[in-house]
Amino acid sequence: MTTRDPRVPGLARLAALIADETRAACLLALLDGRAWTAGELARHAGVAASTLSEHLSRLVAGGVLAEERQGRHRYVRLADARVAQLVEDLAAQVAPGEAVRPRTLREASAGSAMARGRTCYDHLAGRLGIAVTDALTERGLLRQDTGFALTDAGVEWFGRVGIALDRSGRRPLARGCLDWTERRPHLAGVAGAALCRHALEAGWCVRVGSERAVVVTAAGEREFFAVLGVSVEGVR
Amino acid sequence: MTTRDPRVPGLARLAALIADETRAACLLALLDGRAWTAGELARHAGVAASTLSEHLSRLVAGGVLAEERQGRHRYVRLADARVAQLVEDLAAQVAPGEAVRPRTLREASAGSAMARGRTCYDHLAGRLGIAVTDALTERGLLRQDTGFALTDAGVEWFGRVGIALDRSGRRPLARGCLDWTERRPHLAGVAGAALCRHALEAGWCVRVGSERAVVVTAAGEREFFAVLGVSVEGVR
DNA sequence: CGGACACTTCGGCGACCGCCGAAGCATGGG
DNA sequence: CCCATGCTTCGGCGGTCGCCGAAGTGTCCG
């Protein structure tokens, strides 16, 4: 043992927080960007409330989750966009070859809704996310060939459509997030989040069920075509 | 427990591979992009050869490492650039606030060499990496304000300087990699790797010691200034 | 061909971790 | 005011994991 990298203990500790099936299930669930109560997560993960309580404490202490207490409820969410990105990246690394085929019709149906459109933390994913990302690219608003960035025309487009881009933070304006089902990058970062938020607020899409799945509304179909020229035929 | 995400077991298993101090030490060491023998890693991590052998087997089985047997040696390296990026991202997430101050003069000296210039898997990092990234940005060859991508002028620049960019693979041409010591992104991806390789091959910088540290040569100082207008004063 | 060397396999030890249910403690509703 | 609800703490159990040294296998070199 020579000069040890000082990051070793921290890296191992962070990975250990994710290295448990119950905690991993929580993190993936929390990728929907919303805050869950401890009880919801316990039921979701299929463990006793007492067990999950301890898991949450460790995740919060490790800076992976942020918590907010309201009355007798303990709400938790992913600490920030960086953590979300990290979990997504880790999960994406795993996906190839490990994709599990749905066993029941119910699962197949839910899975396909997720494949059509869903949120990934705070931006659009699935075929919907890819369709939007491709449309932006084809119209010269986003460049993926030399990296992953909006063009000047792209920045202008967001302003014209009425979607504000907060450029004050440290979060990149645009970045690629590898899509779990499509195996291609979709738009994430400030622009991806703003676009998703706008689409939900303006009623272009709505969430379905308690999962992360979203579907495009009739109005959304018109709007997506109007502003992006994207036909969401294959997406609905 | 409702519909469980199929990625849960894979995510937990992948994280578990990193969630051990000995394995984490190996992964961080392997971030230098070179292949290490099992014995070197065992000494580096401070454990018995038998212990490390088992760790390597698990990392290889998990797809994190690639191995190559040569005679009585077992060489291992990170499986690919994606794994390297993942380890870097995880380590970067940890760094804030956990930075450990060097205790001895020797450590301080080694640490500062690493801070000046080093490789991060296959591209330049440290103050050197940041200086190059900043120079590219200032000259309009790289855009960081709307994402992270080369400009057309940037692609042309690589050709003019004589650095070939392999655009056939799936790896992005440019991407930001958060610098551990500088806390800002430096150039990674195909372009970052090609630039680093060129700098080492052309003698602009040389590796020092057995670590990842690199220093700029006198010739390199002239060349970096000639092609990028970057003064490496503060870097040497 | 024999010994040095690098790595692997095996058995066994100790530590840690995740799990549960029971009991305790707040909160909010009837 | 009392009970249901949501969460937390605790003790204890079982499984896994990392570690080592000893013994075994394969390779290289003289």
pLDDT tens column, A108-165: 555 566 778 899 999 999 999 999 999 999 999 999 999 999 999 999 999 999 999 9
Determine the distance between B52 (CA) and D12 (C1') in angstroms. 33
As a whole number of angstroms, the distance between CA A31 and CA B220 comes to 46
* CB-closest option in A107, A146, A151 to B150: A146
B71-80, B158-167, B207-216, range with the lowest pLDDT:
B207-216
Mutation for testing the B interface, residue in A26, A136, A146 having most B CBs under 10 Å: A146
Mutation for testing the A interface, residue in B2, B4, B7 having most A CBs under 10 Å: B7
pLDDT band at B94, cuts 50/70/90? confident
**Can you say how many angstroms the Cα of residue A157 is from the centroid of all Cα atoms in its chain?**
23
Using CA atoms in the order B62, B63, B66, B70, what is the torsion angle rounded to 10 degrees? 40
Place of tokens 């009880």: A39
Closest by alpha carbon to B198, among B117, B116, B126, B124? B124
Determine the distance between B53 (CA) and D29 (C1') in angstroms. 25
For strand C, the positions having any atom within 7 A of a protein Cβ are: 5-10, 17-23, 26-28
Half-sphere exposure of B47 (CA within 13 A, CB side): 16
A10-14, A92-96, B30-34, range with the lowest pLDDT:
A92-96
Kindly tell me if the per-residue pLDDT of B169 is higher than 50: yes
Average pLDDT over residues B92-115: 59
Q: Does A89 touch chain B (CB under 8 A)?
A: yes
Whether A23 contacts A17, CB under 8 Å:
yes
Q: Helix (H, G, I), strand (E, B), or coil: what is residue A101?
A: coil
* Geometric angle at alpha carbon B141, from B136 and B142, rounded to 5°: 75
Determine the distance between B210 (CA) and D23 (C1') in angstroms. 34
**Does the distance separating the beta carbons of B89 and A86 come in below 8 Å?**
yes
**Can you say how many angstroms the Cα of residue B43 is from the centroid of all Cα atoms in its chain?**
22
Question: In angstroms, what CA-CA distances link A128 with A157, A208, A232, B9, B198?
Answer: 19, 14, 7, 26, 41
A residues 96..125 contacting B (CB < 8 A): 98-100, 107, 110
Q: Does A48 touch chain B (CB under 8 A)?
A: no
Kindly tell me if the per-residue pLDDT of A19 is higher than 70: yes
Q: Which two tokens stand for residue A19?
A: 């290295």
Kindly tell me if the per-residue pLDDT of B82 is higher than 50: yes
As a whole number of angstroms, the distance between CA B14 and CA A231 comes to 38
DSSP state of A213: B
* CB-closest option in B17, B85, B107 to A3: B107
Q: Which two tokens stand for residue A222?
A: 């018109």
Domains and CATH numbers, chain B: 8-79 (1.10.10.10), 103-235 (no CATH)
Residue A146 confidence (pLDDT): 96
CA distance A1 to chain B (A): 4
